[in-house]
């Protein structure tokens, strides 16, 4: 039971990281376009760009969008506070911002008091310091935001109903949350600088596993895929992207911590002509978009095609709609779980093979010079960061992708036929495939609530990127067959009285409809 609770907390933490990452992805595309169009090589190719008004617009958009990446820790503070708090999420987010600001200034006070505040601006990076929101402090990047978000969420859940003596009653209840968060952040800000050196060394000591030049990228992508059923892959990605575990990179005399921070500097500020592009980008991007594009643009379509070709002839028309939807969801939106879950639930061993193959088939990226940013792996990212930028060697990714496509198609087609797996189009009947397609969310919600034993059996409804996550009073009242009628990709009891129901990228709309059904039904 204790292990299950711990796993749930870790999963919830992983989901809380999605909000800031979701913001970074589309704005990163804007930065990618403006960064590419502002480069000298692009202006030489497209002379019309060399106009003061056009360049002013491009540079302005780049500067505006850069505010997101200059304040990543603050975004993480708010995202984690929102995702981890169970009550009064708004006040938790407010408290997280105050907590993060407090953390910055307390660390500044510690550095000043101990005489370790660096006076030379050129040496700030070497000392692990920087100016953040106008405060010279220790640069702990996303970690600081995460700490502030976690504390704010915990304080909000614990003290939002705090009652104080009459003389201090004004400061009770929700008002107490930011005040208590402020007080808690003071000792935290004094402790972190003391232990940060030891923490950094620990992260560096384990980084060799994922950062090994020969097999590290393979281990990373195997683990990334294998952790998807548990919702932990976001945690893994965040550690590599934003901490010392992903490496520390020297660029123009300044250290950049984590893969994504270094990539941002090279991709958006320096461009393909800078020496760091050829020196670092192939090694950085294989953990980002280059590796993800192998999945979304080649492997997922290959698996979908194998499923379609092995579907029974009478079911192909229905199966085609389902398969195309989940494939396009990955191809256009970088959401791969819907298709992965279609075989995870019916053949777990095949999912293991999928994870292993994903790792093995990513290893050739070590020997290629693919330099395609950014976080996501959609066809739009390929067009922006692969085709608009120079020196990306995008064709190498395409060649490797074709090999991946052939291997995954052959393996999945063989396994589906050999073991008679009930992938889409191979069941006796596919239920209500048009409910999601036609966006009949109220009807879906009604079926879901009924399948869960009625609204009186539902304690709490939450969702991640693809799944409803529902706490129940009695899981014996659940009708899994009825849930299939809602058009879900699958359902399973993650633990006693806690069920996951998979709806893919529509899940947030389904969750809203379920909330309405419970409230008004």
Active site residues: 464
How far is 447 from 181, CA to CA, in rounded Å?
Answer: 42
Enclosing H/E stretch for 468? strand 467-472
- HSE (CB half, 13 Å, CA atoms) of 278? 5
How far is 282 from 272, CA to CA, in rounded Å?
Answer: 12
For residue 422, how far is the Cα from the chain centroid? 30
CA torsion, ordered 230, 233, 236, 240, to nearest 10 deg: 180
How far is 347 from 94, CA to CA, in rounded Å?
Answer: 45
Residue found under tokens 């009604």: 446
Which of the 8 DSSP states describes residue 47?
A: G
Residues 6+ apart with CB under 8 A from 17: 76, 79, 80, 83, 234, 235, 238
Residue found under tokens 């792996």: 377
Q: Are 206 and 105 in contact (CB under 8 A)?
A: no
How far is 277 from 140, CA to CA, in rounded Å?
Answer: 25
Does residue 257 sit in helix, strand or coil? strand
Which of the 8 DSSP states describes residue 286?
A: T
The pair of structure tokens assigned to 2 is 């204790």
The pair of structure tokens assigned to 384 is 């922006």
Strand partners, 500: 469, 492
Q: Are 261 and 141 in contact (CB under 8 A)?
A: yes
For residue 77, how far is the Cα from the chain centroid? 15
- The CA–CA distances, whole Å, from 26 to 2, 15, 43, 381, 458 equal 38, 18, 24, 10, 35
The number of beta carbons lying within 10 Å of the beta carbon of residue 97 is: 19
């Amino acid at each position: 039971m204790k292990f299950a609770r711990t796993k749930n907390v870790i999963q919830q933490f992983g989901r809380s990281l999605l909000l800031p990452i979701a913001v970074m992805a589309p704005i990163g595309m804007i930065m990618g376009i403006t960064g590419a169009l502002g480069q000298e090589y692009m202006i030489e190719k497209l002379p019309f760009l060399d106009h003061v008004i056009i360049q002013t617009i491009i540079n302005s958009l780049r500067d505006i969008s850069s505010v997101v990446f200059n304040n990543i820790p603050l975004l993480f503070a708010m995202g984690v506070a929102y995702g981890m708090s169970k009550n009064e999420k708004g006040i938790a987010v407010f408290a997280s911002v105050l907590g993060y600001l407090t953390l910055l200034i307390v660390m500044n006070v510690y550095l000043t008091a101990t005489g370790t505040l660096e006076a030379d601006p050129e040496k700030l990076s070497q000392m692990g310091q920087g100016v953040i929101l106008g405060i010279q402090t220790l640069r702990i990047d996303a970690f600081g935001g995460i700490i502030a978000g976690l504390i704010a969420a915990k304080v909000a859940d614990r003290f939002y109903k705090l009652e104080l003596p009459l003389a201090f009653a004004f400061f009770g209840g929700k008002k107490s949350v930011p005040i208590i968060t402020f007080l808690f952040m003071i000792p935290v800000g004094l402790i972190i600088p003391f232990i940060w050196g030891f923490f950094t060394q620990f992260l560096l000591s384990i980084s060799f596993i994922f950062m090994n030049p020969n097999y590290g990228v393979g281990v990373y992508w195997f683990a990334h895929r294998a952790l998807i059923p548990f919702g932990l892959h976001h945690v893994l990605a965040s550690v590599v992207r934003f901490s010392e575990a992903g490496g520390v990179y020297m660029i123009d005399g300044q250290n950049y911590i984590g893969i994504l921070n270094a990539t941002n500097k090279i991709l958006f500020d320096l461009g393909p002509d800078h020496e760091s592009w050829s020196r670092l980008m192939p090694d950085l991007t294989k953990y980002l978009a280059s590796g993800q594009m192998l999945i979304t643009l080649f492997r997922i379509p290959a698996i979908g095609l194998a499923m379609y070709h092995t579907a029974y002839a009478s079911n192909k028309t229905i199966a085609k709609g389902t398969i195309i939807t989940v494939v396009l969801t990955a191809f256009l939106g970088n959401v791969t779980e819907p298709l992965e879950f279609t075989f995870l639930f019916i053949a777990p061993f095949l999912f293991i093979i999928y994870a292993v193959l994903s790792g093995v088939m990513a290893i050739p990226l070590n020997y290629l010079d693919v330099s395609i940013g950014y976080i996501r792996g959609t066809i739009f990212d390929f067009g922006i960061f692969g085709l608009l930028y120079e020196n990306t060697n995008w064709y190498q990714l395409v060649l490797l992708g074709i090999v991946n496509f052939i291997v995954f198609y052959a393996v999945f087609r063989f396994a589906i036929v050999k073991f008679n797996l009930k992938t889409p189009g191979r069941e006796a009947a596919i239920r209500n495939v048009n409910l999601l397609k036609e966006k009949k969310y109220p009807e879906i919600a009604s079926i879901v609530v009924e399948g869960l034993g009625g609204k009186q059996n539902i304690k709490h409804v939450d969702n991640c990127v693809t799944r409803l996550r529902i706490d129940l009073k009695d899981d014996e009242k659940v009708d899994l067959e009825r849930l299939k009628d809602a058009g879900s990709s699958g359902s399973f009891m993650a633990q006693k009285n806690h069920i996951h129901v998979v709806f893919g990228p529509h899940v947030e709309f389904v969750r809203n409809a379920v909330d309405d059904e419970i409230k008004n039904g």
